[in-house]
Amino acid sequence: MTDQSTANRGTSTRIISDFLQRRREQIAQRWADEALFRTVFTVSRDEAAEAAGSLVEALASVALSGRIEDLRAPGFTGVREQLTRMAGSRARGGAAPSQIADEVAALRPSITDLLITDLAGSDGEASGPHVITLTVLMGTLRLFVMETALSAGEEIIDRQRVQLLEVATPVIKLWSGIVAVPLIGTLDSARSQVVMESLLEAIVDQQAKFAILDITGVPTVDSLVAQHLMKTVAAARLMGAECIVSGIRPAIAQTIVHLGIDLGSVITRASLADALAYALHQEGAVIVDRATGAGGPR
C-alpha cells in the first residue's frame, strides 16, 4: 500500500514536472500579469515573463527530484537569489510578509486551471492527485518565498542594530583627564547600559577626573532616561570622577521639573563648551586670550 502510494506520487511528480516544462511559456505569460511579478518588474513585461519562466523551470526540477515538500531541494537554490531580490524589493516597497505570501498564493489558480485543462485534453485519468501534488509544490514555494523575505529583513535589522550600537557610544577625550559622551537619539535600557559601561571604562583608561554627558542630541527625556543619567553620574562619582551633564534643552528642563526628578546633586551646564570650561577651571587650566591677556570663561 505504502509502496504503491509512493509510486503513485512518483508518477504524479513526474507528470507535474513534465507539464511545467511543456507549458513553461504559457505559465510564464500568465504569471507575468500577476501582482507579484507586475509590481517587481514595473519596467518591462518581458523581464517579468523571463523571471516567471525561470521560476517555473526551478519548480519543474524540484518536481522531477520528487522532493516537493522540501525547502532545501536543490531546484530551489537556483532561484533563491532571484526570489530574495523580488521579496526584498516588495518588502522595501512596504509590503507586509503576509501580503507577499498572498501574492505568491495568487499564482496558484492560473496554473491549476491550466493543469486541469491540460490533463482533460490528454487522457481520461482523474486529475485530482496531480492537482494536489501541484498544490503541495506551490505551498512549498510560498513557504520558501516567506522564508527568504523574512531572512532578508532579519539581515537588515541585524546589520542596523550593530551599526546603531557602534555609532551610538563614542567616548571622546577632550583634554587630558576630561572625557565626553555626546548622546544622540532615543535612549533605551540596552543603549543606556552600553553608554554607562563605555563611559566608565574610558574613565579608567584615560584616568579621567571629569566625564561630560552631553544630551543635546536626545530628543526627549522621560523618567527612565533621567534615572539612567542619575545612575551614570553616581557610578562615575563612585569611581572618583566628576560627572557633568550638559546640553539640557529648555523643553527637557521643563519635563524634568514636571516629572519631579531631582537633579540637584548633578552638575549641569548649558552647553558642552560650558561643561568643558568648568572642567578645565576645576583642573586649574586657564585659557588665555593672546591679544588681551584676559582669561577665558570660567
Q: Residue 204 interacts with another protein (CB under 8 A)?
A: yes
What SS3 state is found at 172? strand
Task: Tell which one of 1, 43, 126, 238 touches another protein (CB under 8 A).
Answer: 238
Q: x/- binding map, residues 248-287, to another protein, per CB under 8 A?
A: -----------------x----------------------
Q: Least Å distance between CB 298 and another protein?
A: 19
- Is 211 a residue that touches another protein (CB under 8 A)? no
Which cell numbers hold the place of 219? 530628543
Which one, 154 or 262, has the nearer CB to another protein? Answer: 262
Is 235 a binder of another protein (CB under 8 A)? yes
Site size toward another protein (CB under 8 A) is 19
Residue 287 vs residues 103, 281, 295: alpha-carbon distances, Å: 68, 9, 6
What Å distances lie between residue 141 and 36, 72, 100, 206, CA to CA?
13, 11, 12, 57
* 107 or 180: CB nearest another protein: 180
Q: Cβ of 116: how many Cβ atoms within 10 Å? A: 15
Structural contact between residues 183 and 152, judged by C-beta atoms closer than 8 angstroms: no
User: Residue 252: what residue type?
Assistant: I
User: What is the spatial distance between Cα 244 and Cα 203, in angstroms, rounded to a whole number?
Assistant: 13
∠ CA 94-98-99, nearest 5°, is 55
The one-character DSSP state at 178 is E
| Nearer Cβ to another protein (44/207) | 207
| Window of 3-11, 43-51, 168-176, 205-213 that interacts with another protein by CB under 8 A | 205-213
Q: Which of 73-81, 86-94, 192-200, 279-287 is the region at the interface with another protein (rule: CB under 8 A)?
A: 192-200
- Quick one: which of 160, 189, 207, 220 contacts another protein (CB under 8 A)? 207
CA distances, 237 to each of 19, 173, 178, 208 (Å): 76, 18, 14, 11
Residues at the site binding another protein, with contacts judged by CB under 8 A: 196-197, 200-201, 203-204, 207-209, 231, 234-241, 265
